[in-house]
Amino acid sequence: MTTFKFTLAYDGTDFVGWQRQARGRSVQALLEEALSRIERAPVAIVGAGRTDGGAHALGQVASATLTHSIDAATLRRALNATLPSDLRVLAAEPAPPEFNARHAARSKTYRYHIVCDEIIGPFDRRFAWHVPGPLNLAAMRDAAGRFEGRHDFRAFQSTGSSVVSMVRTILCSRLTASPRSETGTQIIYDVTGDGFLRHMVRVMVGTLIEVGSGRLNVNDIDEIIASRDRQTAGPTAPAHGLFLVHVAYGPDQESADQLTGPA
């Protein structure tokens, strides 16, 4: 038996999300079906994060164990030969038998794309939130920094989650902007944390937009975190602007569990 670590990229537009569901096209289901054809038996795959329907990945990580004898390079080629073009296996590599892509993750980095312009182009509409603006970028940068540190983020969690603890550590929360046209701006929000609650990044982005539009001020971020009340935070940003960029792993399972806590 060999445990494999997979690095994946996908355009989430036509997926219901990572997780297999009763209806709809999921990343997990397609991978499990492709692996089962190679294994000639059912295969379960574990993802580092359960991306939402419509959200994308540049560096999702997954793990699965196979009894079929196959080298990593051949496995990657075989999977990409059968998977649809909007889902690619970027890398496949042997991992320790106990490796679990979800439990061993020490941190995840997400990126959110916003186009602040009168018009959004046809090649941006699937991968960025169109906010006509204008927005106060300096206030948004300041507000983004307020998320850093260890906090109870229940004010930024959507309903439907069963996690025990809402406490998470945000290691880096940064907003950058660059000119996109004579009138428009491309805004990128990058956030790295030891774990994220359901829709947490999307609610953080929605709250930053409220700050940028003047409906909230920078100091409100601290009060929203302290309130632990979802009603005080901004709206949930659309899923199609969100990308899972990177999942970081440590040298051993024990230290990863200590850092991440309940997922």
- The set of catalytic residues is 52
Nearest-5° Cα angle at 175, 172 to 181: 155
- For 192, the 3-state DSSP assignment is strand
Is there a contact between 62 and 92 (Cβ–Cβ < 8 Å)?
no
Is there a contact between 95 and 252 (Cβ–Cβ < 8 Å)?
no
Q: In the chain, which residue ranges form alpha helices assigned H by DSSP?
A: 27-39, 72-82, 137-145, 200-213, 220-227, 253-260
DSSP 8-class letter at 25: -
Cα separation, 249 vs 141, in Å, equals 28
Would you tell me the crossing angle of helices 27-39 and 72-82 to the nearest 10 degrees? 120
